[in-house]
Structure 1
């Protein structure tokens, strides 16, 4: 009889957030597949668990998946864990789950800590609908296009950001999306946890510490903002010039930014900008 693949959530900072079920499963499985065996080894030692571990991370997952599925098929149970939180969220995991499902192996999630939900429910922003978007692109222009795509989304958005880019990303968000409400969570559940709430520009002003792990929660687009009409051609051309001359965007990037801002096709923006460039007909 095949074993079971358990997706075990582990603490995101506070070790007291491990569940009783997670402890039992980690003790009973044949092996723990871990993103970082050294990191997970410390958690297991803290819990007095001596289950063997094997590494499972992005660079070796394609090699490890057949081995783990074979062990599962032979009757062994496997626990998959990440460095922190729920495995499969912004880290390796879903390909192993898919392979196990295709092989007819039982997959069970063992719920627990999640930085996404921890930040969302503490933010004070709407929780009835939300989207988690992982990490923004690291390069500035790609990140700005990524942010522009959020302009009219009607759900709360949650994403992670690296400490050395968090200030730049928040400043870009304020510029591209407007000064909307948000929350930044740093070092969630840890001793030096920090939750900064307010409008984006206010948060940037309060952000004094850029070390640690950051989770950002953005309010949905305002209804009035979503319905913003396309300006006349001269006004749109002035906005185009602002983007290309003052913000350093290329022509194509500026057209795309304006199309995202007003919710219209790029070709419509291009035509309007060209009319604005030519000026009023004589």
Structure 2
């Protein structure tokens, strides 16, 4: 097939999120051809290579949140030397809730090409399996770990009209679902997908109240993705909407952003109208 990686190019490659058979042919070739592989967990990379019966072609470096800044400098040096540099994470796409963002920014700023080998995605897999409207969605990553901060993070999303996708630790899933039920309402349609593409894959669908009961009834195991339906549009009450915009602005949000977010969850009013009214009220 010839070489697929190019010298002096930073390549990001998606790895399987569970089932090794989901590895693409391009990923196999990239692992064989790279001069330098930056891996979130080197042991997991070696296990993946063994499962795929692939011989890693170059030097392997650890590349995680605690050493990302230092490793980025090393990756740029390797690119300057014309080496084939590959970034992989434990599962899924680098950069998405995983290391790689700093390297991409630095490489692009320095003028080095950046390319991506697409592949498995926990976000899209869970969204597709959830049965919840996928036409417009937003990825929210991991919610804060502490209860107060978790609730505060969900509050601006109360009226988000798009489907929302979250990552979560299994040990915090019950608490996160409970916080979602409080903020978004217990009847909001939702789904919990765990162990995607693995032997014990499971997708639980129901209201947030039903999923809270399920999560609290037993131990949640495996890597978890939570999908929550967007808010239904509500009839516009201009005065109430204006109060929401002012409250969000008082909490530190930019007025324009607050007006846009509130208008997104309402019918019959534009973000511009709310913004102008909020400025006048101030």
TM-score, scaled relative to structure 1: 0.80
Quick one: distance in 1 between partners of 2:60 and 2:196? 26
Partner of 2:211: 203
Give 1:94 shift.
0.8
1:151-162 equivalent positions in 2, closer than 5 A: 151-162=158-169
Secondary structure of 2:133's counterpart equals: coil
Secondary structure of 1:119's counterpart equals: helix
Give 1:162 shift.
1.2
Give 1:205 shift.
2.2
Measured against aligned partners, the alpha-carbon deviations of 1:126-160 in whole angstroms (never above 9, x if no partner) come to: 11111111111111011001111111111110011
Partner of 2:223: 213
Structure 1 residue runs of 4 or more that deviate by more than 4 Å after TM superposition: 226-231
RMSD across aligned positions (CA): 2.3
Q: Pick closer, same or farther for the CA change 1:267–1:129 going to 2, 3 Å.
A: closer
Partner of 1:254: none
Measured against aligned partners, the alpha-carbon deviations of 1:207-239 in whole angstroms (never above 9, x if no partner) come to: 333121110001010113x747878xxxxxxxx
Partner of 1:102: 109
Quick one: distance in 2 between partners of 1:8 and 1:163? 26
Could you tell me which of 161, 171, 185 is aligned with 1:164? 171
Could you tell me which of 26, 33, 58 is aligned with 1:21? 26
Quick one: distance in 1 between partners of 2:112 and 2:84? 10
Partner of 1:234: none
Partner of 1:57: 64
Partner of 1:128: 135
Corresponding pairs, count: 241
Could you tell me which of 244, 258, 265 is aligned with 2:246? 265
Give 1:161 shift.
1.1
Q: Pick closer, same or farther for the CA change 1:27–1:173 going to 2, 3 Å.
A: same
Secondary structure of 1:263's counterpart equals: helix
Quick one: distance in 2 between partners of 1:97 and 1:189? 28
Gaps of 5+ in 1: 232-258, 270-282
Give 1:26 shift.
1.2
Give 1:201 shift.
0.8
Quick one: distance in 1 between partners of 2:175 and 2:226? 13
Give 1:107 shift.
0.8
Give 1:266 shift.
2.4
TM-score, scaled relative to structure 2: 0.80
Give 1:61 shift.
1.0
Alpha-carbon contact 1:2-1:105 (below 8 Å) kept: no
Measured against aligned partners, the alpha-carbon deviations of 1:54-91 in whole angstroms (never above 9, x if no partner) come to: 11111111111111111111110111000001111101
Quick one: distance in 2 between partners of 1:115 and 1:102? 29
